[in-house]
Amino acid sequence: MTRWLLEISPGVFVGNLNARVRERLWTVIQENIGSGRAIMVFHASNEQRLSFLTLGDPWVPTDFEGLTLMVRPGGYDDENAPEQRSDRGEGHRRPGMSNFEKRRRARRGFPRTDRQTL
């Protein structure tokens, strides 16, 4: 694969391929993938200007009103959203604050009583 593509990170290859090389490369990937997964994103003449091919990945490309979106299997629908589920009571929340919340509160600083409000 390094003959046609640059490996920018371990296992991540990028480059421009013509359709013939891209299709042959995808065939070779399908034959040798084993239990791994592969996602190929390439230029296409559609509204998004790209298209996807996936193999061994639980996320599935799905057409939604002309746009290709990646759908997570077992994702949330309106009835099972975490905020609305009745089986998640207060006892199921993790104790304490997240690191993000701690940093956000630290950035705000302590409330000051000597500030004048307009």
Does the residue 15 lie in any domain? yes
pLDDT tens for the chain, residues 1 to 118: 677 889 998 888 999 889 999 999 999 999 998 888 888 888 888 888 888 888 888 888 888 888 888 888 875 555 555 554 445 555 555 667 788 888 887 877 766 666 565 5
- Domains of the chain: total: 1
pTM: 0.56
One-letter amino acid of 81: A
- Residues facing 57 on adjacent strands: none
Pick from 47, 72, 42, 68: which is nearest to 59 by CA? 72
Q: Which domain holds residue 30?
A: 1-74
Does the residue 85 lie in any domain? no
Does the residue 109 lie in any domain? no
- The domain that contains 6 carries what CATH number? 3.30.70.240
